[in-house]
Amino acid sequence: MSDLILNSSTIGVVVSLSAYGVGVLVKNKMKKAIFNPLLVSIVLVIILLLVLNIDYAKFNHSAQYLSYFLTPATVALAIPLYKQIALLKEHLREILCGVLAGVISSLCSVFVMSLLFGLNHEYYVTLLPKSITTAIGMGVAQELGGISNVAVAVIVITGVQGNIIAETICKIAKIKHPISRGLAIGTASHAVGTAKALEIGEIEGAMNLFRVQFLSYLCYTTHLLLLGAITGGISYILNTFRSFCLGSKIEFARSKKMCMIICTLQIATLIITWSGWISLLPVAANIASTIGGYTYNARKIRIAGMFVNSPLWIIYDIIVGSWAGILDEVFSEGSMIISIVRYGWKNLDKVNE
Amino acid sequence: MRYLKQFAVILGVTCVGEILKYFIPLPIPASVYGLVLMLILLMTHMVKLEMVKDASGFLVEIMPVMFIPAGAGLIAYWVQLRPVVVPMLVITLLTTVIVMVVTGKTTDFLIGRKERKK
Average pLDDT over every residue of A41-56: 86
**Lowest pLDDT segment from A63-72, A214-223, A274-283, B80-89:** A214-223
pLDDT at residue A212 in the model: 47
Q: Are A123 and B84 within 8 A, CB to CB? A: yes
Closest by CA to A27, choosing from A17, A14, A39, is A39
Integer angstrom CA distances of residue B75 from A121, A212, B71, B84: 21, 31, 9, 14
Q: CA angle at residue A298 from A294 to A300, to 5 degrees?
A: 65
Interface test with A, best of B107, B109, B114 (most A CBs within 10 A): B107
Higher pLDDT, B95 or B80: B95
pLDDT at residue A214 in the model: 45
Residues 6+ apart with CB under 8 A from B98: A105, A106, A109
Per-residue confidence at B11, pLDDT binned at 50, 70, 90?
A: very high
Average pLDDT over every residue of B42-47: 86
pLDDT at residue A62 in the model: 81
ipTM summary value = 0.83
pLDDT at residue B114 in the model: 75
pLDDT at residue B27 in the model: 63
How far apart (Å, rounded) are the C-alpha atoms in residues A1 and A7?
10
Q: Does the CB of B17 have a partner CB in chain A at under 8 Å? A: yes
Residues 6+ apart with CB under 8 A from A304: A288, A289, A291, A292, A293
pLDDT at residue B16 in the model: 92
Per-residue confidence at A349, pLDDT binned at 50, 70, 90?
A: low
In total, chain A counts a number of residues equal to 353
Chain Cα centroid distance, residue A301: 33
pLDDT at residue A1 tops 70: no
Per-residue confidence at A112, pLDDT binned at 50, 70, 90?
A: confident
Q: Does the CB of B112 have a partner CB in chain A at under 8 Å? A: yes
Average pLDDT over every residue of A136-164: 70
pLDDT of B58-71, one tens digit each?
A: 887 777 787 778 77
Chain Cα centroid distance, residue B37: 14
pLDDT at residue A352 in the model: 46
Higher pLDDT, A213 or A57: A57
Percent of residues, chain A, with pLDDT higher than 90? 0
Q: Does the CB of A252 have a partner CB in chain B at under 8 Å? A: no
**Lowest pLDDT segment from A93-102, A182-191, A200-209:** A200-209
Q: Are A85 and B11 within 8 A, CB to CB? A: no
pLDDT at residue A202 tops 50: no
Higher pLDDT, A163 or A67: A67
Per-residue confidence at A244, pLDDT binned at 50, 70, 90?
A: low
pLDDT of A59-85, one tens digit each?
A: 888 887 887 887 888 788 788 777 777
pLDDT at residue A321 in the model: 58
The DSSP output letter for A340 is H
Average pLDDT over every residue of A122-126: 74
Per-residue confidence at A134, pLDDT binned at 50, 70, 90?
A: low
pLDDT at residue B35 tops 80: yes
Average pLDDT over every residue of A83-93: 73
Per-residue confidence at B13, pLDDT binned at 50, 70, 90?
A: very high
pLDDT at residue B5 tops 80: yes
pLDDT at residue B102 in the model: 84
Closest by CA to A183, choosing from B111, B94, B118, is B111
pLDDT at residue A78 in the model: 80
Burial of B12 (0-12, 13-18, 19+ CB in 10 A): middle
Burial of A100 (0-12, 13-18, 19+ CB in 10 A): middle
Which residues in chain A (101-160) have CB-CB distances under 8 A to chain B? 101-102, 105-106, 109-110, 113-114, 117, 119, 123, 127, 130-131, 134-136, 138-140, 142-144, 147-150, 152-154, 156-158
- Nearest CB among B56, B60, B67 relative to A152 is that of B67
pLDDT at residue A350 in the model: 53
pLDDT at residue B9 tops 80: yes
Angle of the A231-246 helix axis to the A310-320 helix axis, nearest 10: 150
pLDDT at residue B12 tops 90: yes
Per-residue confidence at A249, pLDDT binned at 50, 70, 90?
A: low
Average pLDDT over all residues of chain A: 70
Is the pTM higher than 0.80?
no
pLDDT at residue A226 in the model: 42
